[in-house]
Structure 1
Amino acid sequence: MRIYVTSVFVEDQAKALDFYTRVLGFEVKHDIPLGDYSWLTVVEKGNPDGTELLLEPSEHPAVRPYKEALVRDGIPATSFQVDDLEAEFDRLRKLGVEFTQPPMNAGSVKMAVLNDTCGNLIQLVEMTEAG
């Protein structure tokens, strides 16, 4: 068994598409119109068969309080691994990305947390020790 798709709830799919592709560097896998929204997934650049991230509309009534509680408590909605956290932090800050947690050491990882502009906190992680 393997993960095929996972999702992050976004307030605006167009804004999320811009942020996740232009800023974070993911590539569109699917953009299939479904009424007012799309089945909109992105994948890691250069890995079209990798795990898909669904940019899912935040339309269900339970989503807003769930997301607000996570953000209020500083809990990321998901986590992405990077090879060099300091370099990625610098690159993203130059693009205007807001970080709620700058890079810090946390045991066998370095981590930072950013605001995705779509209602979520996203954690970036660099593995510093073989796990």
Structure 2
Amino acid sequence: MKVKVTSIPVLNQEKALQFYTEKLGFLKKVDVPLSEHSRWLTVVSKEEQNGVEILLEPAPNHFEPAKVYQKALFDSGIPYTQFSSDNVQQDYDRLVKLGVDFSVKPTSMGTVKIAVFNDTCGNNIQIVEML
């Protein structure tokens, strides 16, 4: 087995697509309408265009436990997921210039350096650099 797609719940797919492409630099990979209010919408890293796709999945408003879980993670400052970075400080500096809000500035923690930002779609996302 291998990972082909992983999902991140987002409060608004269009806003998420703009953030993940315009701010983070991902590329839109698949965009297929599923219903009037949702679509199969994935993005990929520019560096690994055939790599793992991130499904920008509509947060399940009709499923209360998922809403509670996503909000609890966000309110606690816990990242929903993490992305690898070759240089956290450089990515932090670039993203701050683009107006991205960080709750944790670049911080060394043993063998890694991390930073955590708000994806504007209901999630904290951590970037990690292996030192």
Normalised to the residue count of structure 2, the TM-score between the two structures is 0.94
Which structure 1 residue ranges, 4+ long, deviate > 3 Å from structure 2? none
How far apart are 1:46 and its partner, in Å? Answer: 4.0
**1:21 and 2:21 equivalent?**
yes
Match of 1:38 in 2: 39
Identity of aligned residues (%): 51
Distance 2:42 2:126 in 1: 19
Which structure is higher in helix share? Answer: 2
Distance 1:66 1:102 in 2: 24
Q: Deviations over 1:31-62 (max 9, x none)?
A: 00111211000111142210010000002322
Letter in 2 for 1:67: Q
Distance 2:5 2:80 in 1: 15
How far apart are 1:68 and its partner, in Å? Answer: 1.1
Q: Say how many residue pairs are matched.
A: 128
Which residue, out of 84, 88, 106, partners 2:87? Answer: 84
Match of 1:52 in 2: 53
Q: Deviations over 1:65-119 (max 9, x none)?
A: 1111101221101100111111110000000000010010111100000000000
Distance 1:121 1:82 in 2: 16
Distance 1:33 1:121 in 2: 26
Question: Which structure 2 residue ranges, 5 or more long, are not aligned?
Answer: none
**1:9 and 2:12 equivalent?**
no
Query: Is the CA contact (8 Å cut-off) linking 1:9 and 1:63 kept in structure 2?
Result: no
